[in-house]
Amino acid sequence: MTTARWSGDWGSASQPTPEPMVDVLIPTAGRVTELVATLAGLAGQDDPAFRVVVSDQSVGGAGMQDPTVQAMLRVLAAQGRQPVVLRHEERRGLAEHRQFLLDAATAPYVLFLDDDVWLEPSSIARMLDAIRQLGCGFVGAAVQGLSYLDDRRPHQQTTFEPWEGPVVPEVIRRGVPGFDRWQLHNAANLAHIAAELDVPRGGWVPYRVAWVGACVLYDRAVLVDSGGFGFWRDLPTGHAGEDVVAQWNVMERAGGVGIVPSGAVHLESPTTVTDRSVDAPDVLFVDERLPDERLPDGRLPDERLPDGQLPAGHHQHI
């Protein structure tokens, strides 16, 4: 039974809404078209009961006043999704913005969803089903760039490993074998892997990850107990990779997985995070680096990709 009110009930007097099982947390800044697509994807979800919380850092709140954004918020309200828009004007970096949203959450599970991701209908239900069955700290649906559907990269898919048995804590750092799994989320690799697995419609297969960007469902209590994004105080404002740090902390406590098929589509718009000069894991886990990991010039072997981007960015389609 769907938890979303259908259009036949939109004009009725206000009706009680079920307590949300998931708080969908969306940080945004200056995006309109992408945010509309993201909200539209949420409006297409039937189950579970969820609340939408948007934290806006656009100048003067201009983005949230756009008629299309307002229209989608009204649709979500009519469906009983209780959309909330928060203004968070002072910019202290990505991690602080995520912590602000986490502090506003009350549901047992929180879905951190970037403002440039469209979700296939039933995506949240599948992610919630996975995290409850597996009992882990997070389940991610890695974003896919569908412009790359004809770009097959089997050499980047060799680290794909379905998770067999109970999900257990895992330690991921640069230089350990599991770190190389980040390549699974490039381009449309997950779409190609899903096609080969032939998963039944509505099903999911958990697999081992290095981290997952842009669309991650957490057990809120586990995320909070792992420190959330409170490490923002130890980072400069210009940073990336904050989701990597949070997930590595959760993985060490309760484990974490990705699921395939993903159902999350990256809109492939230019990033609004232009200052990626500091990669959060390199700052916060620096004491765990081994001296022999570094090259003669002091750089780590995997510190930068050939195009100069850090592998621990949010979501890359290269």
Q: Is residue 302 part of a domain?
A: no
pLDDT confidence of residue 288 = 61
Preceding amide of 261 cis, omega within 30: yes
Report pLDDT digits (tens) over 157-185.
999 999 999 999 999 999 998 999 999 99
Where is average pLDDT lowest: 9-23, 129-143, 214-228, 299-313? 299-313
Q: Does 314 score more than 70 pLDDT?
A: no
Structural domain includes residue 2 = no
Buried b (16+ CB within 10 A) or exposed e, 16-43: eeeebbbbbbbbbbebbebbbbbbbbbb
In a domain, 155, yes or no: yes
Q: Is residue 10 part of a domain?
A: no
The answer to whether residue 228 is domain-embedded is yes
The contacts of residue 293 (CB under 8 Å, 6+ apart) are: 174, 175, 300, 301
CA dihedral 133, 262, 305, 27 (to 10 degrees): -90
Question: What CATH number should be reported for the domain holding residue 66?
Answer: 3.90.550.10
What pTM, to 2 d.p., does this model score?
A: 0.91
Does 315 map to a domain? no
DSSP three-state, residue 109: strand
Structural contact between residues 31 and 38, judged by C-beta atoms closer than 8 angstroms: no
Distance of CA 162 to the CA centre of its chain: 20
Q: What is the pLDDT of residues 67-126, one digit of tens each?
A: 999 999 999 999 999 999 999 888 899 999 999 999 999 999 999 999 999 999 999 999
Q: Which residues contact 252 (CB under 8 A, 6 or more apart)?
A: 169, 170, 171, 226
Q: Is residue 176 part of a domain?
A: yes
Measure the CA–CA gap between 177 and 106, rounded to whole angstroms: 36
| Per-residue pLDDT at 304 exceeds 80 | no
pLDDT at 15: 77
How many domains are contained in the chain?
1
Domain of residue 273 covers 19-293
**Running DSSP on this structure, what letter comes out for residue 62?**
T
- Classify residue 28: in a domain, yes or no: yes
